[in-house]
Amino acid sequence: MKREEALKIVKEQLTDHRYQHTLGVMETAIALAKQYGADEKNAELAAIFHDYAKFRPQDEMRQIILSQKFPQDLLEYHAELWHAPAGAYLVEKEAGILDKEILDAIRYHTSGRPGMTLLEKVIYLADYIEPGRHFPGVDEVRALAKQDLDTALIQAVKNTIQFLMKKNHPVYPESFQTYNDLVMED
C-alpha cells in the first residue's frame, strides 16, 4: 500500500491532532529504520497505522480483545492499552494489511513485549520520541536514540513505568517483562 493511500485511510479515523502525531511517528520511524537497518516501507506503514483504533469505542475494542482471544488480562488494565491489539486486528480486516511484522509492531507499540523485533522497537520508540511529544525525559531518549536503539528503548520503557507508578496506576505485566528482557539482553 502506498503512503498516500494509507494516510487517507488513517486520517478518517483520527482527530487532526492525532493525525499530526501520526505524521511525526511516520517520519521518526523511517529515520530510525534507516539508521538501524529495519525495513523502511514496513516502518512507514506500521507507523501510519499504529493509532488506527485510538478513537474506537471502548466496547468495540473490548469485544475484539475477547473475540480474538487476545490476552484477557488486558481488560484489567487501562483502556489506553487496548487500541494497540484492537488496532492490529482492525488494520488487517479493514485496511487489508496482512504482513505479520507490521501487525505485530502495531499490536505491541503500547506495552512492548519480550523478544521485540527490530520493527517493533522502531515503532515503539518512534511513537515515544516523535517531534510533537513534549514531556519530561523525552529529550534524553531522543539523544539516546541517535546512539543506540536498545539503550533508548530501555529508557523509554523505564520512563513509562515510572510515570505510571508515580500516578499510582497499575503497570501492565508485559511492560515489566519488556523492560526485564531488554536489560537482560544488554
pLDDT, position 105: 98
Task: With cut-offs at 50, 70 and 90, classify the pLDDT of residue 185.
Answer: confident
| Rounded Cα–Cα distance for residues 49 and 30 (Å) | 14
The number of angstroms, rounded, from the C-alpha of 56 to the middle of its chain's C-alpha atoms is: 16
Per-residue pLDDT averaged across 85-100, rounded? Answer: 98
| Angle subtended by helix axes 100-107 and 40-49, to nearest 10 | 40
pLDDT 10s digits, 119-155: 999 999 999 999 999 999 999 999 999 999 999 999 9
Handedness of CA 155, 133, 103, 59 (dihedral sign): positive
Is the pLDDT at 33 greater than 70? The verdict is yes
Residue 76 neighbours by CB distance under 10 Å:
9
Does pLDDT of 183 surpass 90?
yes
Residue 186, pLDDT score:
64
H-helix segments, the chain: 3-11, 16-36, 40-49, 58-67, 83-90, 100-107, 118-129, 138-147, 149-166, 173-185
Asked whether the beta carbons of 124 and 82 are under 8 A apart, the reply is no
Residue owning grid cell 484477557: 72
Total residue length of the chain: 186
- Output 16-20 pairs: Cβ under 8 A, ≥24 positions apart: 18/51, 18/54, 18/55, 20/132
The Cα–Cα gap between 130 and 148 comes to: 16
Containing H/E element for 134? none
Specify the pLDDT at position 20.
Answer: 98
Question: Following CA atoms 48, 183, 172, 85 in sequence, which dihedral angle do they give, to the nearest 10 degrees?
Answer: 30
Is 3-134 CATH 1.10.3210.10? yes
Per domain, the residue ranges of the chain are: 3-134
CA 146, 177, 71, 172 torsion: positive or negative? Answer: negative
pTM of the model: 0.97
